[in-house]
Amino acid sequence: MPNPSHQVIIFLGPPGAGKGTQAERLASDHSLLKISTGDILRDHVTRGTELGLQIRPILDAGQLVPDDVLIALIRDRLASMEKVRVIFDGFPRTTAQARELDVLLEELGAPINAVPLLEVPDEQLIARIVERGKTSGRSDDTEAVARERQQVYREQTQPLIDYYSARGQVRPVDGVGSMDAVYGRILDAVK
């Protein structure tokens, strides 16, 4: 039986939509733990844990860490929580990962509350990323790379959007406007 004090939110949206910034704010304002598998993996590598030693060559080669390893990381993080109050940012990335996450959340009695999907027109996303590149110093924040990332996002994430939409969990959020306006729409979507 689900525990009403659990809260599970899965953030979706294309690169440049502001997911990370908005997820951080939501987590901070509502006592939620923001879980980014990339952050967890990098932490294990930095600390030189057994897992970190195992995955370092995979990450160094630019390959994807196997699903079973990612699910084990998520399981470990969630199992230690008395109340599962999390925002997933960048996970799941595939429907196979989504199904595995569903099984884990069911075991913990922590259903998904909402899947906000930040929507921003492509040309605005490209402009945001290029502008960010001018101030961030990120070499991958160019128009050509941004367009490629948008295409990859659509190809990889659309099946995930379809998966959660079929379950009635996707909440489209207009990602255009001030950060505060978008945040207000996100709050409405996750209620």
Note the pLDDT of residue 37.
82
Note the pLDDT of residue 99.
95
Please say if the pLDDT value at position 180 is more than 90: yes
Q: Which amino acid is at 70?
A: L
DSSP per-residue codes, 152-190 = HHHHHHHHHHHHHHHTT-EEEEE--S-HHHHHHHHHHHH
Note the pLDDT of residue 2.
46
Pairing of strands 85-89, 170-174: unpaired
pLDDT in tens, 52-66: 899 888 877 767 788
pLDDT in tens, 132-177: 888 877 676 788 878 888 887 888 888 999 999 999 999 999 999 9
Could you give the CA distance from residue 134 to residue 72 in angstroms, rounded to a whole number? 38
Pairing of strands 115-119, 85-89: unpaired
Mind listing the domains of the chain with CATH numbers? 7-186 (3.40.50.300)
Note the pLDDT of residue 3.
53
pLDDT in tens, 70-127: 888 898 889 888 899 999 988 898 899 999 999 999 999 999 999 999 999 988 988 8
31 Rama class: left (phi>0) / alpha (psi -120 to 50) / beta:
left
Which residues have C-beta within 8 Å of that of residue 172, sequence separation ≥ 6? 117, 119, 189
Please say if the pLDDT value at position 1 is more than 60: no
Note the pLDDT of residue 107.
92
Alpha-carbon dihedral angle through residues 80, 36, 176, 189, given to the nearest 10 degrees:
-20
Could you give the CA distance from residue 41 to residue 137 in angstroms, rounded to a whole number? 23
Distances (CA, A) of 4 to 34, 89, 111, 113: 19, 22, 9, 10
Burial of 188 (0-12, 13-18, 19+ CB in 10 A): exposed
